[in-house]
């Protein structure tokens, strides 16, 4: 997932060099400027913690949320194996959510 995301960000940053048009400044300058400033947040999957008006690629918020849920799931699973009572507590919290 990360190599494909890095390639997509790189292609988006190269886009101003190979393209232009009448609506270029009003349409693509804000997201490209945001990508130049915050590209690293996408690669670390923490871009959903930043201001939604200043996203690099707005649809990548889902990748960040998905990665964070995977990491939380692994932590909960490891804690559950270490302390079996944690499994009951986390299961109860999950069912109530």
Instruction: Return the number of other C-beta atoms located less than 10 Å from residue 82's C-beta.
Output: 9
pLDDT surpassing 80 at residue 44: yes
pLDDT surpassing 70 at residue 10: yes
Name the average pLDDT for the chain: 83
Q: DSSP for 59-86?
A: GGHHHHHHHHHHHHHHHHHHHHHH-HHH
Side-chain-side CA neighbours of 21 within 13 Å: the count stands at 10
What is the per-residue pLDDT across 86-97, written as a single tens digit (0 to 9) for each? Answer: 777 877 877 776
Q: For residues 9 and 59, give the distance between their C-alpha atoms in angstroms, rounded to a whole number.
A: 12
State the pTM of this model: 0.72
Q: Which of 32, 43, 37 is nearest to 6 (CA)?
A: 43
């Amino acid at each position: 997932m990360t190599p494909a995301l890095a390639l997509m960000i790189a292609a988006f940053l190269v886009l101003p060099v190979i393209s232009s048009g009448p609506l270029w400044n009003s349409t693509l300058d804000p997201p490209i400027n945001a990508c130049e400033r915050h590209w690293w947040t996408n690669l670390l999957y923490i871009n959903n913690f930043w201001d939604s008006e200043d996203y690099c690629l707005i649809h990548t918020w889902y990748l960040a949320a998905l990665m964070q849920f995977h990491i939380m799931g692994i932590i909960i699973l490891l804690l559950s194996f270490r302390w079996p009572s944690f499994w009951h507590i986390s299961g109860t919290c999950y069912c109530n959510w």
